[in-house]
Amino acid sequence: MSRGAANAARAGGVSCGANRAGGDWQQRADVVIVGTGVAGLAAALAAHRDGRRVVILSKAAETATFHAQGGIAVVLPRTEDTVDAHVQDTLAAGAGLCDPDAVRSIVADGYHAVADLIADGARFDESAPGRFALTREGGHSIRRIIHAGGDATGAEVQRALDQAAATLDIRRNHVALEILHDDSAVTGVLVRNADGLGVVHAPSVILATGGLGHLYSATTNPEGSTGDGIALALWAGVGVSDIEFIQFHPTMLFDRGAGGRRPLITEALRGEGAVLRDARGDSVTEGVHPMGDLAPRDVVAAAIEARLRETGDECVFLDARAVERFERRFPTVTAACHAAGIDPTRQPIPVVPGAHYSCGGVLTDVHGRTGLPGLFAAGEVARTGMHGANRLASNSLLEGLVVGGRAGRAAAAHARAAGSPVGGVVERRRDAHDRRDLQRAMTRWASVVRDGAGLHDLAAVLEDAPAGVIRSRADFEDAALTATARVVAAAALARTESRGCHHRSDFPGSDPTQAVSHTVHAQPALTAPLS
């Protein structure tokens, strides 16, 4: 018996060769989660603890959660911090596009979500027994960032959730190709695995696929961050919002000519006193923002980009030589620097902005519900209104924990009410651009600073993409990247102003009349069935 068939039997489904529903096998679940990062596993555990049959689909071995360094922004009891203060910092970073009610809802539930994570085995750094060690990052008015392993918070969060979810039905090397629905509600997921093309019938599906960093030639994201959930939602007729707001982390380790995933140099370094300087030793952010190097990420990334255009230099430098106990406090950064031949205790670290986080995504409420009944989204793939035009540092793990858990409970409730749908499927052709060409085009025309002429050129390039059948993970990712790039370009063209992490050189100022979010849908031509 193949692994797919064994999993089907364990889940109470069938594995039965080619069938009228489409594909080579069929299985059944109550809730299907696509993704195994913080939001996906938080959702899976919540749905499982609600008594639902859960199947988790995992495409890639690495998650963005694992690579998160800084920590979790959370208001702790019995501290000087308040929910109001965290909300205000988040709204300020979001540049007028946050949903204040959504922000308050998620921030207020943060400590409970962290407490649940600790109950599942997570351990955070302490300044004294029973007292969390706190750090500060850009845009925060107070120290409220809890962390683990110095700068390995994501690894600890992933470890704890992996351990808690170890007995759940996690399907490795399974690629979700399409959300199946009957025009009124979700009926399942079309999946490709080693056994071929198959269907997991389920009334509830949760997208927790992470980000879209590999739209660009270099990114802090792991290789699986190819906009999968954005594409799946678009193909299912669900809109995405604020997708033009892609956060470029100010400090990605620079290595001339290196592409793909590049190491992140955590913002917490600046919270502990590291400073940004150019090749001449001049401050990069002096006079740019009252918070200087601890300004929100969009401000710092734009300041670096402007300085590089002005000087013609390839990078700027983060001088962390005065940071105490550097190697102990920041072991992940230390290892990355050493691998690049840099001693951060003796040398400034060369850095550039790098594609890091999608502030927008699939349009949801604070419980992960989309406009299609039975389809949910949580984590980076979702747009709850938490981040607006720019994400406040360390709010991502917070949102993933809170909304992931809520989405799991909401999906479980929907599955309980919906019963056991059966949906058929027609395999479809999808437009797919050559990945390297797409990444070069996005890097050239839709990076930290854009303009209308470049975005029009980008849209023209993206429109010219051949359609084909998806036969592999690579085929699917190329199609997902193409669909995602198209809506990013469309949204960026529509926003004729600079706001948050969306910078237009032809519209350098903000327009108060554009302080609204835009929703974008896929073009019908992208989902033409096979003839």
Using the predicted structure, report yes or no on whether residue 2 has a pLDDT greater than 80: no
Give the span between the Cα atoms of 428 and 163, in whole angstroms: 37
β-pairing verdict for 218-219 and 131-132: unpaired
Using the predicted structure, report yes or no on whether residue 155 has a pLDDT greater than 80: yes
pLDDT tens digit sequence for 57-85: 999 888 989 888 889 999 999 999 999 99
The DSSP letter of residue 215 is G
Average of per-residue pLDDT values in the chain:
91
- Give all strands (DSSP E) within 13-92, no chain letters: 25-28, 31-34, 54-58, 72-73
pLDDT tens digit sequence for 182-204: 979 999 999 999 999 999 999 99
SS3 186: strand
Read off the pLDDT band of 12 (50, 70, 90): very low
Give the span between the Cα atoms of 315 and 308, in whole angstroms: 7
Q: Of all helices (H) and strands (E), which one includes residue 358?
A: strand 349-358
What value, to the nearest 5°, has the Cα angle with vertex 450 and ends 449 and 454?
145
CB atoms near residue 466 (< 10 Å): 11
pLDDT tens digit sequence for 281-303: 999 999 999 989 998 888 899 99
Is residue 171 annotated as part of the catalytic site, yes or no?
Answer: no
Give the span between the Cα atoms of 242 and 230, in whole angstroms: 12
- Residue 366 confidence (pLDDT): 98
- Residue 341 confidence (pLDDT): 93
Give the span between the Cα atoms of 467 and 130, in whole angstroms: 57
- Residue 109 confidence (pLDDT): 98
Percent of the chain with pLDDT over 70: 93
Terminal CA-to-CA distance of the chain, rounded, Å? 34
Give the span between the Cα atoms of 428 and 434, in whole angstroms: 19
CATH number of 429-507: 1.20.58.100, 2.10.70.10, 3.30.390.50, 1.10.10.10?
A: 1.20.58.100
Give the span between the Cα atoms of 424 and 26, in whole angstroms: 11
The DSSP letter of residue 528 is P
The DSSP letter of residue 5 is H
Give the span between the Cα atoms of 280 and 177, in whole angstroms: 50
- Residue 22 confidence (pLDDT): 52
Cβ 78 vs Cβ 61: under 8 Å = no
β-pairing verdict for 382-383 and 361-363: parallel
Read off the pLDDT band of 140 (50, 70, 90): very high
Give the span between the Cα atoms of 388 and 306, in whole angstroms: 23
Go through 368-403 and write b for each residue having 16 or more CB atoms within 10 A of its CB, e for each that does not.
bbbebbbbbbbbbbbbbbbbbbbbbbbbbbbbbbbb
Q: For 326-332, which contacts have Cβ atoms below 8 Å and span 24 or more sequence positions? A: 328/150, 329/150, 329/151, 329/272, 330/150, 330/151, 330/266, 330/268, 330/269, 331/149, 331/150, 331/151, 331/152, 332/69, 332/149, 332/150, 332/151, 332/152, 332/266
- Residue 10 confidence (pLDDT): 42
Using the predicted structure, report yes or no on whether residue 9 has a pLDDT greater than 70: no
Q: Of all helices (H) and strands (E), which one includes residue 375?
A: strand 375-377
Task: Return the sign of the alpha-carbon dihedral for residues 153, 154, 158, 159.
Answer: negative
The DSSP letter of residue 226 is S
The number of helices, as runs of H, and strands, as runs of E, in the chain is 16, 28
Shortest CA distance to 372 belongs to which of 241, 239, 230? Answer: 239
The DSSP letter of residue 348 is P
Residue type, 265: I
Read off the pLDDT band of 4 (50, 70, 90): very low
β-pairing verdict for 275-277 and 316-319: antiparallel
Percent of the chain with pLDDT over 90: 83
- Residue 493 confidence (pLDDT): 96
The one catalytic residue among 104, 136, 262, 297: 297
Read off the pLDDT band of 522 (50, 70, 90): confident
- Residue 166 confidence (pLDDT): 97
Using the predicted structure, report yes or no on whether residue 496 has a pLDDT greater than 60: yes
CB atoms near residue 57 (< 10 Å): 25
Cβ 407 vs Cβ 34: under 8 Å = no
Cβ 439 vs Cβ 214: under 8 Å = yes
Fold agreement between 254-353 and 429-507: no
Q: Of all helices (H) and strands (E), which one includes residue 248?
A: strand 246-253
* Domain ranges, ordered by start, for the chain: 254-353, 429-507
Read off the pLDDT band of 13 (50, 70, 90): very low
Average pLDDT over residues 170-177: 96
* 480's tokens: 């997902």
Q: Is 85 exposed, middle or buried (0-12, 13-18, 19+ CB in 10 A)?
A: middle
Give the span between the Cα atoms of 113 and 405, in whole angstroms: 8
Among 49-58, 264-273, 348-357, the minimum mean pLDDT is found in 264-273
Average pLDDT over residues 489-510: 96
CATH for the stretch 254-353: 3.90.700.10
Give the span between the Cα atoms of 249 and 393, in whole angstroms: 10
Average pLDDT over residues 486-503: 96
pTM for the full predicted model: 0.91
Average pLDDT over residues 417-434: 85
pLDDT tens digit sequence for 209-243: 999 999 999 899 999 999 999 999 999 999 999 99
Using the predicted structure, report yes or no on whether residue 21 has a pLDDT greater than 50: no
Using the predicted structure, report yes or no on whether residue 345 has a pLDDT greater than 60: yes
pLDDT tens digit sequence for 359-398: 999 999 999 999 999 999 999 999 999 999 999 999 999 9
